[in-house]
Structure 1
Amino acid sequence: MTLITWLRHQSRPMLVLTLLGIFAGLFAAFWLLFHFVRPAPPRTVTIAAGTEGGAYAMFAERYRAALAREGIELVIRPTSGSVENLRLLKTDPAIDLGFVQSGIAVEPESEDLMSLGSMYVEPVWIFHRLGQTPTRLTELAGRRLAVGSPGSGTQLFALQLLAASGFAVDAKGLLALDDNAAAEALLAGDIDAAFIVAAPEAPVVQRLLERPEIGLVDLAQAPAFARRLPHLTPLTLPAGALDLAHVRPAHDVRLLGATAGLVARQDLHPAIVSLLLLAARDIHGRPGLFQHVGEYPQAGGRELPLSPTARRFHESGPPLLQRYLPFWLAVLVDRLLVSLLPVVALLIPLMRITPALYAWRMRSRIYRWYGELKFLESDIARHFEPQRTEDYFAHLDRIEEQANRRKVPLAFANELYTLREHIQLVRRSLLRKAQGGH
């Protein structure tokens, strides 16, 4: 018997109660799944950016504008840089994601974090005002050097490079200045050189590159540094890359670079991850001094596990629904699908079991009457007492009345008719015994 056939043969109260029970159970299951298995993405996300006016803050503003178009508020938390960003991600539950440079995050210390991929290249700019271009860091010995503020990736990388070149990390003349303060001091002549790790688009980098009295250290040993510090990569700033007409720089400049990535807590909603990476394509996918169009964002980075959502995005593009639907509609449809699948999986066996249970229930009632009839027939055959004839007929009438009163679907009508025939057979047999007994 199919579910449709079964429903068709139910009485109206039974049908209403059955359907109400089924729908109430399914609604409860759906509600639980909808709210707890795939909750809605948050309306507010907090990002740890860098210093105000730096590259991280600049890019964070672009992300904020992109997310605002989809109804998500991105709160920007100013920090001193990558090292502090990573610390906040580990210790402050209010921080959802942040910019972190390659080589800073280390497992298992960051086991609760995941990478969304590498967003762009961050050169290690070593600006100077020494006149003649240095080609080795040892040429900066005894000079006043800005090495970045505490908690910044700039300071971490600067001290790593200087230590590899034989400098003492507490040497006199190493000044802990942030990027903006270092630029001001360099332009004022208060220091001789400054380490700045930032994207070429960063205002502080652009400002220094435009000043003719400020030059760049041409690191002849860049490949050797990259071997010692594998999170850094040799880069080349081609001659004329800054100004083709006036050929600035006048020759190729060898640099080192890290990659800036987005790192998030592992509980960041997958829909937010996809939305961030869609924005990253527009923000970081353009050609630049050190990258080709569409080269970034990419799945690079070995320090942290890549988010499963980010991995699918980098391999196959944005989720199917987000390609064709507005963000919140895509999220709603996705949640509905995820919530409905278990309900459908539950409904399919339920649609098969319910008619079978009903068939068993109907047959069990008919078989119960058969049991009564068989017991009565056996009693008459073995222990017939003429004085009880009226009781025998009354018992038969009760069984027949119950069978006649019960409405059954057509599928069981044949069994009910057979029961009635058997009742008549027992009645005729009883009648013969009663007549023979007189």
Structure 2
Amino acid sequence: MRRILRDLKIMLLTNLWIVPVVAALVGALFYFVAPPPPMHARMATGSVTGGYHAFGERLQEELAQHGFSLELVESAGSEANLAKLTGDEVELALVQSGQELTLTPEQRSTLNSLGVMYREPLWLFIREGVTFERLADLMPLRLAFGSSGSGTQAVTAALLNANRIDPTQLSERWQALGGRRAADALIAGELDAAFFLGPAENSLIQRLSAEPTLRLASLRRTEAYLARLPYLSQLQVGEGMLDMAQNTPDSNIVTLGPVATLVASEGFHPSLTPLILEAAKTVLKNGNLLDPAGSYPAKPPLSLNTLSEADYYYDKGLPILQRYLPFRIASLADRYIILAIPLLVLLFPLFKAIGPIYQWRIRARIYRWYKHLREIDQQLYKGKLNSDIGAEIVRLENLEDELARIEVPLSYSNELYELHMHLRYMIERLSAYQRRTTAEPQVG
């Protein structure tokens, strides 16, 4: 066993050259591979009381369990979110479908959609006693159609424009008002009707649904609207769906609404896509009053580019490694495995060459002494040997002692002993040559 360990030690010392070679190859692997994805991102939501912000908080909590920090950035609404995305102020934002159509083609090319998170119904609350059949019936009323730059105003403006109604011409009665201010004014009787946009579970929508002086209106001619505004979708709301105690709505109604899409800027790291979408899936797994469980996230509309990582997620789910490993470890493995393949291709012939190189280095430790023996042999043959033969003999004897200290594997011992024999043979030849030259009479 001791001899085996000794041979192993010799082999390792002989092949130490491979350590810097492998280190250089591994260093090159880590140098050329792209850095791992960051574990932090900023997401523009909307006002604190809005549905976007509520969803952002739930997504933030879920991502925190995976060590990912999501910073929520408040904004005035969907239009402001787009501005923050194109201005590189945030990496992610919730955007109302259809809003992207306001951007130039160059601006749209810098954005990528990760998917639809949920539907956003448009709610029209009117006071009891107000007659409503079509949007034109709102013209003589005191109406709030959404604050400037908000998603509510964007949808209502599109619907009104389809009816060739210009809100600016009705500024005496119509107000660019939305959110809590519009709700307070409507409940206080300062408004006859108001539009709101958001999930049915939104606290503001629930507050209005519980108000006995208000009722929820149904939109008619929805197919005509969808033909003109394809980024909207139709939603069926059953009787009592929003508030069973107040029976809101008091009958089955139909409304329209865009979808909330999660959009990424150029600064978003694509490798984070599965992590974000899986967290969103967890947040949305139970669905809501209008969206069945497991419906979202879903494939995004075609108005924006979609990341290939998002397409893969919707088609096949999480990448294989991320199904079993934490995101950080799986992400690194995904990146480095791809580059490890060419590294192994390079290392295979390298390790294959270890055997021949090892044999050459071991034999070189033995054969380097033969060069000197060959020189002496040639000088003897040509009669040109140095006159100081005694010093040469002493040198060879010292070499013989040095050879006794050389360590070689057991399998190469025969070559070492052959060198000992040849060295002793040369010492004896030189000694005989010295005696002969000493015995010859000096001439002159």
- Which category of TM-score, normalised to the shorter sequence, fits these structures? 0.7 to 0.9
Contact 1:118 1:299 in 2 (8 A): yes
Corresponding letter in the other structure for 1:53 = T
- SS for the counterpart of 1:10 is helix
Deviation at 1:260, TM superposition (A): 0.7
Deviation at 1:120, TM superposition (A): 0.6
Choose from 95, 99, 110 the match for 1:100.
Answer: 95
Q: Which residue of 1 aligns with 2:121?
A: 123
Please, which moves more after superposition, 122-131 or 193-202?
A: 122-131
Structure 1: give runs of 5+ residues left out of the alignment.
Answer: none
Contact 2:45 2:74 in 1 (8 A): yes
Deviation at 1:306, TM superposition (A): 3.8
Deviation at 1:362, TM superposition (A): 3.4
Q: Which residue of 1 aligns with 2:57?
A: 61
- The verdict on how the C-alpha distance between 1:402 and 1:85 changes in structure 2, with shifts beyond 3 A counting, is same
- The verdict on how the C-alpha distance between 1:210 and 1:298 changes in structure 2, with shifts beyond 3 A counting, is same
Matched, 1:237 2:261: no
- The verdict on how the C-alpha distance between 1:394 and 1:334 changes in structure 2, with shifts beyond 3 A counting, is same
The whole-number CA distance in structure 1 between the counterparts of 2:374 and 2:37 is: 60
**1:34-433 equivalence runs, <5 A:** 37-38=35-36, 41-42=39-40, 45-69=41-65, 74-93=70-89, 95-105=90-100, 108-129=106-127, 131-135=130-134, 137-141=135-139, 143-168=141-166, 170-173=168-171, 174-211=174-211, 213-239=213-239, 241-242=241-242, 249-268=249-268, 274-307=274-307, 309-318=309-318, 330-331=326-327, 333-334=329-330, 337=333, 345=343, 357-385=357-385, 387=387, 389-390=389-390, 393-394=393-394, 396-397=396-397, 400-427=400-427
Deviation at 1:103, TM superposition (A): 2.3
The whole-number CA distance in structure 2 between the counterparts of 1:112 and 1:67 is: 25
Contact 2:43 2:70 in 1 (8 A): yes
- SS for the counterpart of 2:48 is coil
- The verdict on how the C-alpha distance between 1:71 and 1:424 changes in structure 2, with shifts beyond 3 A counting, is closer
- SS for the counterpart of 1:57 is helix
Corresponding letter in the other structure for 1:133 = F
Corresponding letter in the other structure for 2:121 = P
- The verdict on how the C-alpha distance between 1:379 and 1:386 changes in structure 2, with shifts beyond 3 A counting, is closer
Please, which moves more after superposition, 301-310 or 174-183?
A: 301-310
Q: Which residue of 2 aligns with 1:9?
A: 9
Deviation at 1:116, TM superposition (A): 3.1
- The verdict on how the C-alpha distance between 1:411 and 1:138 changes in structure 2, with shifts beyond 3 A counting, is farther
Please, which moves more after superposition, 212-221 or 344-353?
A: 344-353
- SS for the counterpart of 2:259 is strand
The whole-number CA distance in structure 2 between the counterparts of 1:116 and 1:96 is: 12
Contact 2:114 2:261 in 1 (8 A): yes
The whole-number CA distance in structure 1 between the counterparts of 2:88 and 2:38 is: 22
- The verdict on how the C-alpha distance between 1:165 and 1:372 changes in structure 2, with shifts beyond 3 A counting, is farther
Corresponding letter in the other structure for 1:90 = T
The whole-number CA distance in structure 2 between the counterparts of 1:252 and 1:430 is: 119
- The verdict on how the C-alpha distance between 1:150 and 1:6 changes in structure 2, with shifts beyond 3 A counting, is farther
- SS for the counterpart of 2:43 is strand
Contact 2:210 2:243 in 1 (8 A): no
Report percent identity of matched pairs: 32
Contact 1:133 1:216 in 2 (8 A): no
Corresponding letter in the other structure for 1:132 = T
Deviation at 1:170, TM superposition (A): 3.3
The whole-number CA distance in structure 2 between the counterparts of 1:303 and 1:386 is: 94
- SS for the counterpart of 1:195 is strand
The whole-number CA distance in structure 1 between the counterparts of 2:334 and 2:5 is: 30
Contact 2:95 2:261 in 1 (8 A): yes
Corresponding letter in the other structure for 1:202 = N
Deviation track 1:219-246 (CA, whole Å, cap 9, x = no partner) reads 3332232232222122322455446798
Deviation track 1:15-56 (CA, whole Å, cap 9, x = no partner) reads 9x959x779959x959967x98326624xx543222232212
- SS for the counterpart of 1:171 is helix
- SS for the counterpart of 2:256 is strand
Corresponding letter in the other structure for 2:116 = S
TM-score, normalised with respect to structure 2: 0.76
The whole-number CA distance in structure 1 between the counterparts of 2:370 and 2:144 is: 100
The whole-number CA distance in structure 2 between the counterparts of 1:290 and 1:282 is: 17
Deviation at 1:157, TM superposition (A): 2.1
Deviation track 1:266-288 (CA, whole Å, cap 9, x = no partner) reads 55567865554344234322243
Deviation at 1:92, TM superposition (A): 4.9
The whole-number CA distance in structure 2 between the counterparts of 1:363 and 1:126 is: 93
The whole-number CA distance in structure 1 between the counterparts of 2:322 and 2:386 is: 86
The whole-number CA distance in structure 2 between the counterparts of 1:335 and 1:275 is: 10
Deviation at 1:211, TM superposition (A): 3.8
Contact 1:271 1:331 in 2 (8 A): no
Contact 1:40 1:331 in 2 (8 A): no
The whole-number CA distance in structure 2 between the counterparts of 1:161 and 1:339 is: 48
Contact 1:6 1:355 in 2 (8 A): no
Contact 2:39 2:67 in 1 (8 A): no
The whole-number CA distance in structure 1 between the counterparts of 2:150 and 2:331 is: 39
